[in-house]
Structure 1
Amino acid sequence: MTDWKPDIANRHGRRYLAIADALADDIKRGLVRPGDRLPTHRDLAYQMGLSVSTVSKAYAEAVRRQLILSEVGRGTFVMPNAWTDLTGVGIDSRQIGPIDMAFNCPVPAPMVLEAMSAALKTISGSDRLDELMPYHRPWVGLASHRAAAASWIEKRGLRTSPENILMTNGAQHAHAIILTSLLEPNQIAVTDELTDPGIKFLTANRSLQLKGLAMDKDGLLPDAFEAACKTMKVKALITVPNHHSPTLTIMPVERRKAIAEVAIRHGVTIIEDDVYGPFLDNPPPALSSFAPEQSFYFTSFSKCICAGLRIGFLAAPPGRVEELIPGLGATTWMVSMVPAEIAALWIREGTAERLIVWQRQELTRRQKLAAQILDGFDYTALPSSLHLWLPLPDSWRAEGFVAQARLRGLAVTPAEAFVVGHVPAPQAVRVSLGGATPSRTELQRGLEIVADLLKERPAATYLVL
């Protein structure tokens, strides 16, 4: 084990990010080498005089950047070729190489720009412009915006009303509002054993205990949820029933009912993230519809229409929207009124639905391309999903596959990034097909790299890490 201790004395910002930045710099300078085993979370925390949770968040960030790999019983190791700068994954694909298939975002379309231009012209010439400029109280949003959001959510499978809606700056902001308002530090939230990294970051920042529960092809297992509620003081369930990332599970209706019944029986708050729900032509009823008195549901435009339009819609249980004001105030007092006005206009005029239909059609074309190139290999996909979930052949481990892909100019996401806690990660990768790779020619090349690697055997250096 290396005696690495990062120097963060002159680094500004959050300490866990400073540790991750220091690790990246030390790898580039050769002070830490690929294959080196890093100190344990507890040992590094003791050396630096920090909390274990801060070091855990730093290591989680380093995993997200694909700098390190953590394995139960073995430790934390620097990835092969981890000197490649991956701090920009999901921010600017030019920073990580020519092909970014590591990040989920909608495909850019000229019709989105046309719709945006038309909406801005409409707003600038309307008599509502002055109404969008000042602070607004209550902070939950304008009545017209909340009404449009309620109609949008109802199409996604949850009947609600405008007075139960809170406007947010996207789904991640909705998560933060709920966790800040309803949960106290050290309380327990449960989720699937594989979950979106954003959930892990948010719960860690709130000093919550996040526990991963067993799942199968239909999603979270009700028995596992029941057992957790009986053995722990579970405060909240965080779930993504539609197009679950990374597994792409769509939870069946009967499973949703069973999960809701457990939550009702034990008084557990349901936090339902439906950011991918709009990709479904005929979505099943929202899980929240089976436990409406204790469920907080949200969705957004960011993953399904336009990442730059940071707007989301949060539906609270009847009469409980004001409970979310503390979290809203702790993050931002209110959403920007102009994006909210654009979203409401698009919903009322049917533009949002047309943009969703285009996005589904484009993703269907991309999935068909993937099916052609990856013919003969086992993977999970949906007709219009943003990604595919690829279990690797026995000859490959995920870290070696990811490293070899990077050497060929391709970024994909290892399963390790989605693991909750210290359970072993499956040997699989998530391959994104969306807007991080806007060109279909570029997408085809990336898929060909994936196919070529699947046909090969890893080099010996990746077998002994």
Structure 2
Amino acid sequence: MDTISDLYESRADLPKYRAVAQAVETAVRQGRMTPGDRLPPVRDLAWRLGITPGTVARAYTILTDQGLAVAEVGRGTFIADPAIKPRALLPDPPWSVEATETEMRISLAAPKLPDCGQVQLVRDAFARLAEHPAQRLLNYPSRSAFRPAREAALTWLSDTPMGAVEQEDLILSHGGQNGIGLVMQAVLRGPRPVVLVEDLSYPGFRRAADLLRAVVVPVPMDEHGLIPEALDAIAARHDAQLLCTSPEVHNPTSIVTPAYRREAIAEVARRRGFHVLEDDCYRIGARVGIGYRALLPEQGWLVASFSKAITPALRIGFVVAPQGARADLRRVAEHGFFGLAQPLADLAADVLSRPDLPRVLAAVREEYTRYVRVAVNQLGGHDLRWREDVPFLWLTLPAGWRAAQFVRAAEAAGVQLRAADDFAPRDGNAPHAVRIAVNAQVPLAAFEDAVGRIRALLENPPEGIAV
């Protein structure tokens, strides 16, 4: 630490984060630090130099991007061996690298996955894919050729209680959003069908419905999810055909719908005759309750993906049809895009079948948990809803703040958030709340610094805000 401190002091003309990075570079060049040497913990070095942890974290990110240092999850950051090829840079930086130190921006608008080994799994799968027979890369895909991918997907979903299911009941989609659209195409009938959604819900439900000229009607919810009595009345009034819901991880609040409430909702669906689409894309932890496909064998649909647990880059999702509806689902997929590309299906089957996958998924969950705990430690004194295995937190703002206003203030402080308005119906009343996503692609100290800026806004509102 003394070496970095001495070299840092001689670079007072540079931005602080660059002064730290150049101090380490010089120490390596002069032989005062060698491959394998551990860089000081971010907080320790920040305290020694009298700067913020976020500034040191940014310097360490520059060093790892240049290949001069390597960060190891749970161990720290080390001087890299120059003989080892540095990791490729992320094409979409999790923060704005063009910003100055005082205006460094970190996006907490959408979750960003840590790399806990899944990138290597995907790379290895691509290498094996290149060895496939030529005919598999020359012909249109067939139903039988997709069987290994469907079976691997069912294994991936084996902890989801969804009743009797066969691999023919499942298709692969281009991510969860595409899967939602496919279900709507298979279910909705008539010129202006009605789709029900939670009062606060994933915006993709509304977007998919808009494309099909469907009317979206919100249903009131409480701390346990949808209110069955309100659902019953609204479904009857509007002759609803489909309900879209997220009982395991409600986006954006992280609410879990308890078993008794799911059963009451399923009873309403049976009585009123509408289908239920369960979106299970955000779950990365253990399943909590029974699925709507099990509760409603002829009306329950499941949409899932591995975007939140493995990678969103491949755009691979899964749709499971209820009993008697597999032909409708298959027809929509085949008529719409002839099914997933065969190499992509083979890639999914390969990744989902790797023996290392459970270990990687456990590491992803553990890493997310570290970030969530940091956020809770910072914001636990406020009205915060969170779960350790969910990559976002829901913050209800104190009196005086408006969600849109708070998001603008956070943006000015260098942190991007999503307001409750993004999850509310266009003509509805959104609560004064924000969703804080976990960005696990920035160092933990940088994430903590960003959450600290949020806390500072909550505790020091600007003039004109009455609290």
TM-score category (smaller protein)? 0.7 to 0.9
Unmatched runs of 5 consecutive residues or more in structure 2: 1-91
- 2:324 alignment partner, SS class: coil
- Give runs of aligned pairs for residues 80-119 of structure 1, distance below 5 A: 94=96, 98-105=105-112, 107-109=113-115, 111-119=117-125
Query: Greater CA deviation, 323-332 or 236-245?
Result: 323-332
- 1:379 alignment partner, SS class: strand
Is the Cα contact below 8 Å between 2:293 and 2:322 reproduced in 1? no
Change (3 A) 1:92 1:244: same
Aligned-residue offset at 1:224: 1.1
TM-score, with normalisation over the residues of structure 2?
A: 0.74
Summarize deviations over 1:169-201 as a string: whole Å, max 9, x none: 110010111112321441101010000111121
1:413 aligns with 2:414: no
Q: Which amino acid aligns with 1:396?
A: W
Whole-Å separation in 2 of the counterparts to 1:374 and 1:269:
39
Q: Which amino acid aligns with 2:457?
A: L
Change (3 A) 1:324 1:141: farther
Residue correspondences, number: 368
Is the Cα contact below 8 Å between 2:150 and 2:172 reproduced in 1? yes
Q: Which amino acid aligns with 2:122?
A: M
Change (3 A) 1:401 1:293: same
- 1:358 alignment partner, SS class: helix
- Give runs of aligned pairs for residues 6-17 of structure 1, distance below 5 A: none
Partner residue, 1:218: 224
Whole-Å separation in 1 of the counterparts to 2:116 and 2:253:
30
- 1:113 alignment partner, SS class: helix
Summarize deviations over 1:343-387 as a string: whole Å, max 9, x none: 212322334433321211111101111122223222000011110
1:232 aligns with 2:238: yes
Change (3 A) 1:450 1:311: same
Whole-Å separation in 1 of the counterparts to 2:231 and 2:326:
26
Change (3 A) 1:316 1:341: same
Whole-Å separation in 2 of the counterparts to 1:132 and 1:282:
37
Q: Which amino acid aligns with 1:320?
A: A
Q: Which amino acid aligns with 1:214?
A: P
Partner residue, 1:295: 300
Aligned-residue offset at 1:229: 2.1
Highest CA radius of gyration, 1 or 2? Answer: 2
Q: Which amino acid aligns with 1:296?
A: W
Query: Greater CA deviation, 381-390 or 451-460?
Result: 451-460
Is the Cα contact below 8 Å between 1:133 and 1:337 reproduced in 2? no
1:308 aligns with 2:313: yes
Aligned-residue offset at 1:228: 1.3
Partner residue, 2:354: 349
Aligned-residue offset at 1:260: 1.0
Is the Cα contact below 8 Å between 1:400 and 1:458 reproduced in 2? no
Among residues 369, 372, 382, which one is paired with 1:364 in the alignment? Answer: 369
Aligned-residue offset at 1:438: 3.1
Partner residue, 1:151: 155
Whole-Å separation in 2 of the counterparts to 1:336 and 1:438:
33
Is the Cα contact below 8 Å between 1:212 and 1:420 reproduced in 2? yes
Change (3 A) 1:212 1:305: same
Is the Cα contact below 8 Å between 1:366 and 1:433 reproduced in 2? yes
Is the Cα contact below 8 Å between 1:141 and 1:334 reproduced in 2? no
Whole-Å separation in 1 of the counterparts to 2:278 and 2:93:
26
Among residues 164, 182, 186, which one is paired with 2:187 in the alignment? Answer: 182
Whole-Å separation in 2 of the counterparts to 1:141 and 1:223:
46
Is the Cα contact below 8 Å between 1:203 and 1:210 reproduced in 2? yes
Change (3 A) 1:91 1:267: farther
Whole-Å separation in 1 of the counterparts to 2:314 and 2:356:
14
- Give runs of aligned pairs for residues 387-406 of structure 1, distance below 5 A: 387-406=392-411
- 2:455 alignment partner, SS class: helix
Change (3 A) 1:302 1:320: same
- 1:389 alignment partner, SS class: strand
- 2:421 alignment partner, SS class: helix
- Give runs of aligned pairs for residues 131-142 of structure 1, distance below 5 A: 131-138=136-143, 142=146
Is the Cα contact below 8 Å between 1:176 and 1:327 reproduced in 2? no
Q: Which amino acid aligns with 1:428?
A: A
Partner residue, 2:177: 172
Partner residue, 1:247: 253
Q: Runs in 1 of length 4+ with deviation above 6 angstroms?
A: none
Q: Which amino acid aligns with 1:321?
A: R
Whole-Å separation in 1 of the counterparts to 2:354 and 2:94:
32
Is the Cα contact below 8 Å between 1:298 and 1:315 reproduced in 2? yes
Whole-Å separation in 1 of the counterparts to 2:129 and 2:254:
38
Unmatched runs of 5 consecutive residues or more in structure 1: 1-89
Structure 1 vs Structure 2 CA RMSD: 2.3
Whole-Å separation in 2 of the counterparts to 1:170 and 1:93:
25
Aligned-residue offset at 1:458: 3.2
TM-score, with normalisation over the residues of structure 1?
A: 0.74
Summarize deviations over 1:230-271 as a string: whole Å, max 9, x none: 222110000111111111011111111111111111111111
Whole-Å separation in 2 of the counterparts to 1:326 and 1:302:
25
Is the Cα contact below 8 Å between 2:107 and 2:439 reproduced in 1? no
Query: Greater CA deviation, 343-352 or 180-189?
Result: 343-352
